[in-house]
Homo-oligomer: A and B are copies of this chain.
Amino acid sequence: MSGGLGVWQDMEKERETLQAWKERVEQELDRVVAFWMEHSHDQEHGGFFTCLGRDGRVYDDLKYVWLQGRQVWMYCHLYRKFERFRRPELLDSAKAGGEFLLRYARVAPPEKKCAFVLTRDGRPVKVQRTIFSECFYTMAMNELWRVTGEARYQDEAVEMMDQIVRWVREDPSGLGRPQLPGALASEPMAVPMMLLNLVEQLGESDEELAGNYAELADWCAQRILRHVQRDGQAVLENVSEGGEELSGCLGRHQNPGHALEAGWFLLRHAIRKGDPELRAHVVDKFLLLPFRSGWDPDHGGLFYFQDADGLCPTQLEWAMKLWWPHSEAMIAFLMGYSDSGDPTLLRLFYQVAEYTFRQFRDPEYGEWFGYLNREGTVALTIKGGPFKAPGLTAFYCPPSRSQRT
């Protein structure tokens, strides 16, 4: 009897702990959204200021396209999924951001290539030779369609998606990367990972599109899985086109945050497909393995980059702690726990969440710091920058029912 009571008490305690975390996350989400609502809207030219200092002041009026797309997506997604965010000002701001992207993001329309950064009034400053600006553009357009019902947004999303798939699977020449005889033909994991995310985004509650992309989704998953190398002991960020380990630093490069992010994209895919074997493999290789190797035993937090042989990475920032790998890890572990009920995953969620809320939050001005040094002190005070998006970012995509209000 007393054993049964103990179990019941444990469950009750766990329910309370989870409920407390749900409330902390909700409060934090409210503060983060309020910060961007207050400081980032450009009333004159549309779109969002993305370079915000600690107190929200705009320190540069350049507009980074990844972040324009993410903010549109975030506003729409919150509006669509959470009762308390169903506010006209979120929708209006998302639409203004979407119109800014439609008008200015593409460098030479009707070509699809998007800029990486624009001037305040929308002139292109820099173009990346990758697919990522276009991926965030696609996510923004699809969410805009979901909240407004306007077909032109969805047409734009689907057309851009088609272009991205052609770049990745057929002909990358439109991305502008020169072909050099010494450059190894390599696949960064980020590419199939982002593509799988887009498939999930576009396929949500849309059986026809989900069906169209079913083969693509499997292809992405299979491509990501090839990044598990060395008899399953390491996730490598880059592999050869044939799925083999590459030589040198490029081949040994690891990004624990990416592995965890790919983990929850894959887990979502595996859950949708009802594939228990894949679910177990993903938890093992993309959640537990990168966490074990990527978590700093001395100071806590996830390293930004590592070398699979334990050598010193050449990136100056390798040992820094960035906000986003921690957001990805929180989602991944909570999603894994929600799916499997495995208490190990819940404990890891707590471990990451406690570090994250303690180290990245700014109680004084709101929002999160993005960049800590190895020891956990703030290295950059900016709240938004070329890559720094709203804190708690990935939580905007609620990983389980328990996260929804």
Q: Mask for A62-87, Cβ within 8 A of B = 1, else 0? A: 10000000000000000000000000
Interface residues of A in 306-347 (CB under 8 A from B): 311-314, 316-320
Segment with Cβ contacts to B, from A12-20, A178-186, A217-225, A270-278: A178-186
Most B-side CB within 10 Å, residue of A115, A319, A379: A379
**Do B314 and A317 have beta carbons less than 8 Å apart?**
no
Q: Is A312 touching B125 in the complex (CB atoms < 8 A)?
A: no
The smallest C-beta distance from A299 to any residue of chain B, in angstroms, reads 12
- Within 8 Å by CB of A119, from B182, B374, B386, lies B182
Q: Is the CB of B59 within 8 A of A181?
A: no
CB-based contact A314/B385 at 8 Å = yes
Q: Contacts of A25 on B, CB cut-off 8 Å? A: none
A249 close to B59 (CB less than 8 A): yes
Distance (Å) between the CB of A273 and the closest chain B CB? Answer: 38
Q: Which residues of B contact A249 (CB under 8 A)?
A: 51, 59-60, 62
Nearest neighbor of A57 in chain B, beta-carbon distance: B311
The smallest beta-carbon distance between A371 and chain B, in angstroms, is 6
Copies of this chain per assembly: 2
The one of B51, B374, B382 that contacts A373, using a Cβ cutoff of 8 Å: B374
For residue A124, CB closer than 8 A to chain B, the reply is yes
Count of A residues near B, CB < 8 Å?
45
Given A51-B249, A312-B53, also A178-B127 (CB < 8 A):
yes
Give complex CA distance A61, B251 in Å.
Answer: 12
Interchain CA distance A195-B195 in the complex, whole Å: 45
Question: Residues of B contacting A373 with CB < 8 Å?
Answer: 373-374
Q: Mark A210-251, 1 if CB is under 8 A from B, else 0.
A: 000000000000000000000000000000000000011100
Chain B residues closer than 8 Å to A126, beta-carbon distance: 180, 183
Inter-chain contacts of A180 with B (CB < 8 A): 107, 115, 123-127
Cβ of A381 under 8 Å from chain B: yes
Partner of A61, one of B60, B117, B248, B371: B248
Residues from chain B with Cβ under 8 Å of A61 in the complex: 247-248
Check A182 against B118 for contact (C-beta < 8 Å): yes
**Residues of A in contact with B (beta carbons under 8 Å apart):** 51, 53-54, 59-62, 107, 115, 117-119, 122-127, 178, 180-184, 247-249, 311-314, 316-320, 371, 373-374, 379-382, 385-386
Q: Please name 6 pairs of A and B residues whose Cβ atoms are closer than 8 Å in the assembled complex, sorted by A.
A: A60-B249, A123-B180, A124-B180, A125-B180, A316-B317, A317-B317
Other than the given A61-B248, A122-B182, A312-B381, 17 more pairs (CB < 8 A) read: A51-B249, A53-B312, A59-B248, A59-B249, A60-B248, A60-B249, A62-B248, A107-B180, A115-B180, A123-B181, A124-B180, A124-B181, A124-B182, A125-B183, A312-B382, A318-B380, A373-B374
